[in-house]
Amino acid sequence: MLDRYLPDEFESKWRARWQDTDLFLTQEIEGRPKFYALDFFPYPSGAGLSVGHCRNYIPTDAIARMKRMQGYNVLHPMGFDAFGLPAENEAIKRKRHPAGMIDDYAANYRRQMDLVGIGYDWSRTFKSSDPDYYRWTQWI
Residue 140 has pLDDT above 70, yes or no: no
Higher model confidence: residue 89 or residue 32? 32
69, pLDDT greater than 80? yes
Residue 136, φ and ψ in degrees, nearest 5 = -80, -30
77-85 average pLDDT score: 90
Q: Is the pLDDT of residue 1 over 70?
A: no
Task: Assess whether pLDDT exceeds 70 at residue 77.
Answer: yes
Are the beta carbons of 41 and 129 closer than 8 angstroms?
A: no
Q: Express as a percent the part of the chain with pLDDT over 90.
A: 62
Q: Residue 6: pLDDT above 90?
A: no
**pLDDT interval class at 38 (50, 70, 90):** very high
Nearest to 72 by CA among 14, 119, 31, 105: 31
Least Cα distance to 68 among 36, 102, 109, 114 occurs for 36
Q: Right CATH number for 30-129 from 3.40.50.1700, 3.40.50.620, 3.40.50.300, 1.20.140.10?
A: 3.40.50.620
Instruction: Specify the pTM.
Output: 0.86
Judged against a pLDDT cut of 70, whether residue 126 lies above it is answered with yes
pLDDT, mean of residues 124-132: 91
3-class secondary structure, 78: coil
Q: Is the per-residue pLDDT at 102 higher than 80?
A: yes
